[in-house]
Amino acid sequence: MRQISAFIDRNGNKQWGTPDICSSRKISEGTYLIEFQQPFSQNPVATATIYGSPWQTFNISVAIIEVSPYHCIYLTSTPDRPVDCGTMVMIMGEE
């Protein structure tokens, strides 16, 4: 079992976390792509949570929209539109 965790800032840059992330970037407003250095043997499990000051993030949610052995795509949004926001991400799966 391998676990990847990281803090990704609102611009899509990995600020800290495990070294298993090859790259992370914002691909559109509120949408982020994380690519893994080494692929998992099958689709991993991914979870994410909003990171930031309560008064700036109380109405923002995060949704994992695609997971593969090679990457994870997720979206941060308010009830009516995508917005950029920092997140804590954790991905677990078989090596």
Give the pLDDT confidence of 25-75 residue by residue, as tens digits. 999 999 999 999 999 999 999 999 999 999 889 999 999 999 999 999 999
Residue 22 reports pLDDT greater than 90: no
Per-residue pLDDT, 21: 86
Exposure of 49 by Cβ count < 10 A (0-12 exposed, 13-18 middle, 19+ buried)?
exposed
Does the domain spanning 2-93 belong to CATH 2.60.40? yes
Mean pLDDT, residues 11-34: 95
pLDDT range class, residue 5, cuts 50, 70, 90: very high
Per-residue pLDDT, 24: 96
